[in-house]
Amino acid sequence: MSKKTFVTGAVALAAAILPLTAGMATAAPAVTTVYYDASGAPSFASAISSGAANWNSSVSNVQLRPSSSGASLRYVEGNDPQGSYADTDGHGTGTIFIDYTQAKQYDIVRITAHETGHALGLPDHYEGPCSELMSGGGPGTSCHNAKPNSTEASRVQSLWANGLVSNGVGTQRIYG
Ligand SMILES: [Zn+2]
């Protein structure tokens, strides 16, 4: 009798724990939201929004959302002889600079999406084809692809699999 009571109690306990355990095991990784402020680059507001949307539709572990306060990523515009750049830790923090001259030559959404790619952790790969976002200006001014390919999206997915944790890399300036 006491044994049966024990078993019943154990089953009840397991039933109570199981939903929580199952929920934890099957839940998708938490989405990390990177808030950005594009007010410093008013000429490129539309392109920045489109570039962010291209990333948002390609990855799920990190999403970019505009915010006027508390943003970790900001966009600015101006002239720099070396062109556009990203000052970033590669993990959602930093400043993206859009160069006017470059914006007249290259696809603007490709530029903003590319620089955003740096803020999400991707390096340049100029040797790549137009279908690669991080080939940047490599394929020339006729390239209008502004979306990451599946390899680039997978890379960002894995970089953000554990959320907003430091990658141990300080902020660096990546031109181009
Ligand atoms: Zn680049």
At residue 22, the pLDDT reads 46
Tell me, yes or no, whether 48 lies in a domain. yes
Q: Provide CB contacts within 8 A for 33, sequence distance 6+.
A: 62, 63, 64, 65
What pLDDT score was predicted for residue 20?
47
The Cα-based distances of 159 to 21, 92, 118, 163, 175 in angstroms read: 26, 11, 12, 8, 21
State which residues have CB under 5 angstroms from ligand 1, the bound ion: 124, 136, 176
Any residues with CB less than 8 A from the CB of 79 and at least 6 apart, and which?
A: 99, 100, 101
What strand order describes the sheet that includes 62-66? Answer: 62-66, 32-40, 73-78, 94-99, 85-88, 172-175
13 assigned to some structural domain: no
Q: Which domain holds residue 61?
A: 32-175
Please report which helix (H) or strand (E) contains residue 17, including its range: helix 2-26
Residue 101, pLDDT > 70, answer yes
Inform me whether the pLDDT recorded for 15 exceeds 60: no
15 lies in some domain: no
CA of 175 to the centre of ligand 1 (A): 6
User: Is residue 134 in some structural domain?
Assistant: yes
Q: Please check if 124 is assigned to a binding site.
A: yes
**pLDDT tens-digit series, residues 104-137:** 999 999 999 999 999 999 999 999 999 999 999 9
Q: What is the DSSP string of 124-140?
A: P-TTS-TT-GGGTTTT-
Give pLDDT, residue 2.
Answer: 46
pLDDT at 163 > cutoff 60:
yes
Task: Of 78, 77, 54, 75, give the one whose Cα is nearest residue 66.
Answer: 75
Q: Does some domain include residue 12?
A: no
Mean pLDDT of 31-40: 97
pLDDT of 47 reads 98
Residue 122 lies in a domain: yes
Nearest-10 crossing angle of helices 45-56, 108-119: 60
Is 8 a residue whose pLDDT tops 70?
Answer: no
Domains held by the chain: number: 1
What residues are paired with 37 via a beta bridge? 74
User: Which range has the worst mean pLDDT, 23-32, 113-122, 165-174?
Assistant: 23-32
Does 118 show up as a binding residue in the annotation?
yes
Q: Which two tokens stand for residue 90?
A: 């590669």
- How confident is the model over 54-67, as a mean pLDDT? 98
Is position 126 within any domain? yes
Mean pLDDT across the chain, nearest whole number? 88
Q: How far is the CA of 27 from the centre of ligand 1 (A)?
A: 34
Mean pLDDT of all residues in 156-174? 84
Which pLDDT score is estimated for 68?
86
Ligand 1 center from residue 80 Cα (angstroms):
15
**CATH number of the CATH domain containing 140:** 3.40.390.10
Active site residue 77: no
pLDDT attached to residue 105: 98
144 is in an annotated binding site: no
